[in-house]
């Protein structure tokens, strides 16, 4: 039992992203409203983004910007050796900027499609749409 | 024996494919028919030109492209292939002449399509004849199946559709379902697909696998109409008679048995088959087909269907001959490829001539027709003698060697089958001839004056009937070729 | 210039897409020529790359001059070069063939259509050329988004079908991203070759196995592998015909490429085939995919749906072949990428021609087609023969290798499924050929001349179709050369046999 609690506490970021992912997946599958499905999809994507960002974090580390200050004392602040452990990993953040853009674009496309569907079927509920399709 | 490398086999195959654009573009039907004759004549001449080399004991080879590493599209002309190619190409010329008479008299539609696909079908036939390995054989076998579909379903009516479906189900179904796996398994087991004198499967796999492959190959070549995969042949009789004559008496069905003979001798080898006692399997399947087909033929009223069942039986003679695994038996079987072809085509030509001249399809309606079409019925009589196996027709020689072969192989059961079948053949052919010629004027359904089919129909059938008789006195070069094949396989 | 081919073939369509979106606003007539020019440059570059790769084995191109693993590297080897040529050829031929169809179906949106078209091709080409795992995700999503847009341009059920595709496609891409994340955690690198050199020490790690499975599942979703195939039939059927004939041949095949890339380059064969339970289950899933695809196709009531199920079965061929774990199977799978792209293009173009003339794709619309559109039907018959697997068309040869691979690996279920699928394909295609050949039944039982006149599709639609049909036979005859020079070097000797 203590091992379980230790692992839950140690890997809490993974747990959180998995839970978020499952919420998103549930919304996509179980909800009938198209917009809710789209929101679920976005939650799913956000979970992945959260995962990536969380793996870059390090204990006690600071933001990964090397200070080239100006004013007095500037020449002392630039360190000669850069310790990687002092800065959090910037690469996942950079990658996730791209992923966020992709998620937003997907959201935009999905909403545009939902508008088209609404224009055609006058409703955003999936069961009503399927009923209309079956009639034709 | 030297191997000559020459492009002639490829040209022989391509001649008719190249004629197709010319046929399509012909403005007038006479020009179109001329191109058909030119193509048929050219094909025949090229094949004849290769005959001397083969009779001298050489072989001609040509490789086109190595499509799978280890197996190429390759042609090899040897005595067996030459025999078949000669039969097919010579009969194409006669069938083209016959087609002209038949199609024009009946004012059939889509004649250009008909002649084009005929040309393609003959290309494929020669391709099978000259195939040097199993892959090339399979390629042209499939091409033949597809090229003959528009010919079988020429009338484009409901009957044609049903027959077309049956045709494809049997033929494509077996070639994809049985042949393809068997071919690939053989390739994986032996590493090659080239036909060799002693077979290439010798010593590569277990008895169980060889037996399974044998069964797959024999039934996979459904064009040989071995029961139970024979159903397509009677169904294909809805085609115009020239199609039934050349394709379903000569080209398509002979491709089937030819392929079986090739596979038995070139893939398995007589040695392997006799050591594993597999000749029995072949003989049983063939004998069953012979007897049952002859029995069914007795019950048929439609003349073409009767001829179809007769063909089914006769094809199994060829397989039976090779299945005896004895030199004389094989000679008889291979010789029968040629003898049966000429005999059967005559019979079909007669059936078509009767339809063109009188519109009759059923035997019961043909009482007394001998007075009206004496030449046609005389040819019918001669050809049926050949099928039964009586002198003075060529069919006698092949039957004779089959009988000798069954004695040589000590298979008395096969001898009984052969004799019974000849009796049955007589039983279904002779009544037709008898009723045609010998009947009282009251029974006769026709007026007395002689009114034969058009000349284009009549002359080819008389030629083939004449050749059938000529083969009794001079069965060359087919007999020589058949003996050469057997010598090559058994080594002396 | 030639050393910039890898970049050219992605950048030129990208910039042209942007150019077209502007030009389309001003004057619609310039869109098509610009698109043709862009794709021709791509085709030229990809052929050039293929020829170079046959000499040099691998071509590396560092974007911006940054070395990997900090920069993004484009790496082109035989497999990439082959798929590049296939994508470029299909894209260009489809562009030319569907020009009239596009004008007919959306004349006001031509600019938008060609923009999306070129962006889709950019994405596809980029996926094949890239050597960086995350870059692949980005390009995957570019491809997917433009695909969603193109499919939604169709008739009234298209937006809904596209929306369903959005859900599943996004899940697939996210899984892939997740897998890459785990790989990054284990190896610290995103460059494919770099990862493959770091991984061998980590083969026992559960993280790596999880990464592998998650990536592969993501790719399976994107390629419509059973049981994750539900989005494909509707999406490809209701898409406009110009789009169906573009995405059907290409999207799934490029995803197969991604899968093979993951299997062979990133996670080397030593790892991929080490877990027998995994390989066997995938092969059995492939068997089910093939059989289900065949059976569902029999139940389809219109041509496009039927062809979509055939595509699902073909995906089964390739996945099964790749996971057999021997040379013959992998050769068959890679060969089938090229062959299937061409075959699918052929049949979908033929259907596109029919839709252009008849405005419908139900089976009844095929009546009398052999008289009305003989050339189109010739193309359709050629494609059908290739799908059935009749030599000398290329379809036969990929089946040859796949069946050989199945026999060598002892996976007789796979062999049986392949033979079954060929037979069902014969039934499917001859059913529609019959409708075109026989009906309408003439009152004179076919003895008079037919009153139906020939009304063939325009030349720009028929000629590319016939070129593709001829290409099917050419590919078949040259199979030996293709395999020895292009495909053999792809498969590492580590794969058995």
> What CA–CA distance (Å, rounded) separates C425 from C294?
7
> Among B237, B187, B197, B184, which residue's Cα sits nearest to residue B362?
B237
* C-alpha distance from B175 to closest chain C C-alpha (Å): 10
**What residues 130-189 of chain C have any CB closer than 8 A to a CB of chain A?**
134, 137-138, 141, 145, 148-149, 152, 156-157, 159-160, 162-163, 166-167, 170-171, 174, 177-178, 181, 184-185
In terms of C-beta density within 10 A (0-12 exposed, 13-18 middle, 19 or more buried), how is residue A8 classed? exposed
Strands (E), C32-136: 59-62, 73-76
The single residue listed with the structure tokens 């390009």 is C139
pLDDT (0 to 100) of residue B143: 92
CB-CB neighbors (< 8 A) of C190 in chain A: 95
Cα→Cα distances B129→B68, B247, B254, Å: 21, 14, 10
Minimal CA–CA distance to B11: which of B46, B61, B48, B49?
Answer: B46
Which candidate in C405, C407, C422, C446 is best for mutational testing of the B interface (most B CBs within 10 A)? Answer: C446
Nearest to A98 among C138, C149, C167 (CB): C138
Whether residue B215 contacts residue B200, with contact meaning beta carbons closer than 8 Å, is answered with no
Q: Give, for B65, the enclosing helix (H) or strand (E).
A: strand B59-68
Chain B residue with Cα closest to C397: B68
Q: What is the pLDDT of residue A24?
A: 94
C244 vs C237: CA distance, rounded Å: 7
Q: What is the mean pLDDT of chain B?
A: 85
Which residues of chain B make contact with C403, given a CB cutoff of 8 A? Answer: 180-181, 184
Query: Is the CB of B180 less than 8 angstroms away from the CB of C389?
Result: yes
Distance from CA of B182 to the nearest CA of C (A): 11
pLDDT the model gives residue C448: 45
Q: Which residues of B touch C (CB under 8 A)?
A: 65-69, 72-73, 106-110, 135, 138-139, 142-143, 146, 150, 153-158, 160-161, 164-165, 168, 172-173, 176-177, 180-181, 184-185, 187-188
Single out the residue of C170, C200, C202, C173 nearest to residue C185, CA to CA.
Answer: C202
For residue B492, the tally of other CB atoms under 10 A from its CB is 6
CB contact under 8 A, C160 and A129: yes
Query: Chain B contacts of C422, Cβ < 8 Å?
Result: 176, 180
Please report residues of A whose CB lies closer than 8 A to that of C156. Answer: 120
- Shortest Cα distance from C45 to chain A (angstroms)? 28
Given the DSSP bridges, would you call strands B3-5 and B59-68 parallel, antiparallel or unpaired? parallel
Site of tokens 């030639």: C2
Task: Please answer yes or no on whether C477 and B73 come within 8 Å at the CB atom.
Answer: yes
pLDDT in tens, chain C (497 residues): 667 788 888 889 999 999 998 888 888 888 888 999 999 999 998 898 888 888 877 888 887 777 776 778 888 888 999 999 999 999 999 999 998 888 888 888 888 999 999 999 999 999 999 988 999 999 999 999 999 999 999 878 899 999 999 999 999 999 999 999 999 988 888 888 888 888 888 877 888 889 999 999 999 999 999 888 999 999 999 999 999 999 999 999 999 999 999 998 888 888 888 888 888 999 999 999 999 999 999 998 888 999 999 999 999 999 999 999 888 899 999 999 999 999 999 999 999 999 898 888 888 888 888 888 888 999 999 999 999 999 889 999 999 999 999 998 888 999 999 999 999 999 999 988 888 887 765 444 444 445 566 778 888 888 999 999 999 999 888 888 888 888 888 887 766 54
**Length reported for chain A:** 136
Residue partners of A11: CB distance under 8 A and separation at least 6: none
| Cα four-point dihedral sign C189, C195, C200, C206 | positive
Distance CA C420, CA B17 (A): 32
Q: Is the dihedral of CA B124, B125, B131, B136 positive or negative?
A: positive
Is there contact between C and B if contact means ≥3 C-beta pairs under 8 Å?
A: yes
pLDDT at A71: 54
Question: A45 vs C152: CB contact, 8 Å cut-off?
Answer: no
User: In chain C, whose CA is at the least distance from the CA of B179?
Assistant: C419
**How far apart, in whole angstroms, are the C-alpha atoms of residue C146 and residue C235?**
13
- Minimal Cα distance from B156: which residue of C? C438
pLDDT at site B441:
67
Contacting residues of B for C415, CB less than 8 Å apart = 181
Among C120, C139, C181, C211, pick the best mutation site for testing chain A contact (most A Cβ within 10 A). C181
Q: Give chain C positions within 8 Å (CB) of A129.
A: 160
Whether A99 and C163 lie within 8 Å, measured CB to CB: no
B96 min Cα distance to partner chain C (Å): 20
Instruction: List chain B domain ranges.
Output: 3-490
- Whether C141 sits inside 8 A of A37 (CB atoms) is no
DSSP label of C483: I
Mark yes or no for CB contact C407/B185 under 8 Å.
yes
* Rg of chain A taking only CA atoms, in angstroms: 23
- C77 token code pair: 């080897």
Alpha-carbon torsion (A9, A15, A20, A26), positive or negative: negative
Q: Hey, what domains does chain A have and what are their CATH numbers?
A: 2-59+85-135 (1.10.287.3510)
Q: ω before B392 within 30° of 0 (cis)?
A: yes
* Least Cα separation, residue C181 to chain A (angstroms): 7
Contact between C167 and A34 using a beta-carbon 8 Å cutoff: no
C208: closest CA of chain A, how far (Å): 16
Q: With a cut of 50, list the residues of chain B below it in pLDDT.
A: 492
CB contact under 8 A, C483 and B138: no
Q: Which residue out of B63, B67, B120, B189 would a mutagenesis test of the C interface target, given it has the greatest number of C Cβ atoms within 10 Å?
A: B67
pLDDT (0 to 100) of residue B35 = 85
Which of A106, A114, A115, A129 to mutate against chain C (most C CBs within 10 Å)? A106
- Contacting subunits of B (3+ beta carbon pairs below 8 A): C
By C-alpha distance, which of C208, C218, C219, C328 is closest to C268?
C208
> Which residues in chain B are contacts of C406 at CB distance < 8 A?
none
| Exposed e or buried b per residue across C256-294, where buried means at least 16 C-beta atoms within 10 angstroms of its C-beta | bbbbbbbbbbbbbbebbbeeeebbeebbbbbbebbbbbb
With CB atoms and an 8 Å threshold, state whether A113 touches C185: no
CA distance linking residue C310 with residue C329, whole number of Å: 20
Nearest-CA residue of chain C relative to B135?
Answer: C391
Contact between chains at C438 and B108 (C-beta distance less than 8 A): no
Six token digits for residue B464: 């083939």
Interchain contact, C480 vs B158, CB within 8 Å: no
- A48: nearest CA in chain C? C178
């Amino acid at each position: 039992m203590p091992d379980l609690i230790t692992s839950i506490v140690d890997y809490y970021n993974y747990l959180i992203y998995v839970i978020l992912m499952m919420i998103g997946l549930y919304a996509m599958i179980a909800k009938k409203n198209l917009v809710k499905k789209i929101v679920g999809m976005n939650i799913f994507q956000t979970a992945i983004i959260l995962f990536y960002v969380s793996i870059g974090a390090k204990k006690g580390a600071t933001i990964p910007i090397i200070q080239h200050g100006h004013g007095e004392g500037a020449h002392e602040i630039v360190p000669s050796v850069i310790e990687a452990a002092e800065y959090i990993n910037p690469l996942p953040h950079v990658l996730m900027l791209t992923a966020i853009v992709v998620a937003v674009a997907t959201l935009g496309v999905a909403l545009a499609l939902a508008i088209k569907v609404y224009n055609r079927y006058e409703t955003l509920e999936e069961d009503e749409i399927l009923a209309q399709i079956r009639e034709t | 024996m030297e191997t000559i490398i020459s492009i002639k086999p490829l040209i022989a195959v391509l001649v008719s494919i190249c004629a197709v654009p010319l046929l399509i573009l012909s403005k007038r039907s006479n020009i179109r028919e001329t191109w058909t004759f030119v193509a048929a004549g050219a094909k025949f001449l090229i094949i004849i030109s290769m005959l001397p080399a083969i009779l001298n004991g050489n072989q001609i080879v040509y490789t086109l492209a190595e499509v799978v590493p280890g197996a190429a599209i390759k042609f090899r002309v040897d005595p067996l292939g030459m025999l078949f190619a000669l039969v097919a190409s010579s009969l194409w010329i006669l069938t083209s002449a016959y087609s002209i008479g038949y199609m024009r008299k009946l004012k059939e539609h889509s004649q250009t399509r008909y002649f084009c696909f005929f040309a393609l079908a003959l290309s494929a036939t020669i391709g099978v004849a000259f195939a040097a390995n199993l892959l090339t054989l399979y390629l042209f076998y499939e091409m033949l199946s597809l090229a003959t579909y528009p010919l079988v379903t020429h009338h484009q009516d409901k009957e044609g559709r049903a027959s077309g479906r049956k045709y494809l189900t049997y033929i494509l179904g077996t070639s994809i379902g049985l042949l393809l796996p068997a071919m690939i398994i053989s390739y994986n087991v032996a590493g090659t697909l080239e036909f060799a004198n002693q077979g290439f499967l010798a010593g590569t796999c277990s008895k169980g696998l060889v037996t399974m492959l044998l069964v797959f190959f024999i039934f996979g070549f459904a064009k040989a109409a071995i029961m139970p995969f024979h159903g397509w042949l009677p169904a294909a009789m809805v085609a115009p008679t020239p199609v039934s004559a050349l394709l379903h008496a000569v080209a398509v069905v002979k491709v089937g048995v030819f392929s079986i003979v090739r596979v038995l001798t070139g893939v398995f080898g007589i040695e392997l088959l006799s050591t594993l006692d597999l000749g029995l399997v072949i003989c049983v399947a063939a004998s069953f087909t012979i007897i049952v087909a002859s029995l069914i033929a007795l019950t048929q009223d439609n003349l073409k269907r009767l001829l179809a069942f007769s063909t089914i039986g006769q094809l199994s003679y060829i397989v039976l001959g090779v299945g005896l695994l004895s030199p004389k038996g094989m000679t008889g079987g291979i010789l029968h490829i040629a003898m049966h072809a000429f005999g059967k085509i005559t019979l079909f030509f007669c059936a078509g001539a009767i339809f063109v001249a009188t519109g009759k399809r059923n035997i019961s309606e043909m009482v007394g027709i001998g007075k009206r079409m004496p030449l046609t019925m005389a040819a019918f009589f001669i050809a049926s003698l050949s099928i039964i196996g009586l002198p003075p027709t060529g069919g006698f020689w092949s039957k004779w060697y089959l009988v000798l072969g069954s004695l040589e192989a000590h298979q008395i059961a096969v001898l009984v089958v052969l004799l019974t079948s000849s009796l049955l053949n007589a039983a279904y052919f002779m009544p037709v001839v008898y009723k045609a010629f010998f009947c009282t004027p009251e029974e006769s359904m026709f007026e007395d004056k002689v009114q034969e089919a058009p000349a284009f129909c009549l002359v080819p059938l008389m030629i083939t009937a004449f050749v059938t008789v000529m083969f009794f006195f001079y069965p060359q070069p087919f007999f020589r070729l058949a003996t050469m094949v057997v010598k090559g396989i058994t080594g002396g | 210039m030639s050393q910039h081919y890898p970049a050219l073939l992605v950048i030129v369509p990208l910039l042209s897409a942007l150019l077209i979106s502007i030009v389309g606003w001003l004057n619609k007539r310039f869109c098509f020529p610009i698109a043709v020019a862009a794709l021709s440059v791509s085709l030229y570059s990809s052929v050039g790359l293929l020829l170079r790769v046959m000499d040099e084995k691998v071509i590396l191109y560092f974007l911006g001059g940054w070395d990997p693993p900090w920069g993004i590297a484009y790496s082109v080897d035989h497999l990439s070069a082959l798929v590049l040529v296939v994508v470029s050829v299909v894209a260009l031929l489809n562009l030319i063939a569907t020009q009239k169809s596009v004008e007919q179906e959306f004349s006001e949106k031509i600019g938008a259509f060609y923009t999306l078209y070129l962006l889709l091709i950019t994405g596809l080409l980029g996926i094949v050329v890239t050597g960086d795992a995350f870059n692949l995700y980005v390009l995957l999503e570019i491809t997917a988004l433009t695909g969603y847009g193109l499919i939604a341009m169709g008739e009234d059920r298209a937006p809904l079908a596209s929306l369903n595709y959005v859900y599943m496609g996004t899940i697939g891409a996210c899984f892939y991203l997740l897998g890459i994340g785990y790989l990054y955690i284990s190896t610290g690198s995103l460059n494919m070759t770099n990862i493959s050199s770091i991984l061998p020490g980590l083969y026992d790690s559960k993280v790596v196995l999880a990464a592998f499975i998650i990536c592969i599942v993501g790719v399976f979703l994107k390629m419509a592998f059973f049981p994750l195939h539900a989005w494909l039939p509707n999406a490809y059927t209701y898409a406009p015909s110009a789009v169906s004939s573009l995405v059907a041949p290409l999207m799934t095949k490029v995803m197969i490429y991604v899968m093979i890339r993951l299997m062979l380059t990133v996670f080397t064969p030593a790892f991929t085939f080490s877990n027998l339970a995994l390989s066997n289950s995938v092969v059995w899933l492939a068997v089910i995919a093939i059989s289900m695809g065949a059976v569902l196709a029999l139940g389809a009531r219109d041509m496009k749906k039927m062809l979509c199920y055939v595509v699902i079965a073909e995906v089964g061929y390739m996945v099964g072949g790749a996971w057999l774990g021997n040379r013959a199977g992998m050769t068959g799978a890679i060969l089938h990428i090229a062959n299937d792209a061409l075959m699918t293009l052929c049949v979908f173009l033929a259907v596109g021609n029919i839709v252009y003339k008849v405005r419908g794709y139900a089976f009844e619309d095929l009546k009398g087609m052999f008289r009305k559109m003989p050339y189109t039907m010739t193309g359709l018959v050629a494609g059908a023969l290739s799908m059935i697997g009749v030599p000398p068309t290329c379809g036969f040869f990929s089946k040859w290798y796949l069946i050989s691979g199945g026999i060598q690996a002892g996976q007789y279920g796979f062999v049986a499924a392949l033979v079954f699928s060929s037979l069902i394909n014969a039934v499917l295609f001859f059913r529609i050929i019959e409708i075109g050949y026989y009906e309408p039944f003439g009152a004179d039982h076919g003895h008079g001349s037919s009153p139906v006149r020939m009304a063939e599709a325009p030349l720009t639609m028929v000629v590319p179709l016939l070129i593709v049909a001829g290409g099917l036979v050419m590919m078949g005859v040259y199979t030996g050369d293709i395999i020895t020079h292009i495909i053999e070097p792809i498969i590492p000797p580590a794969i058995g046999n």
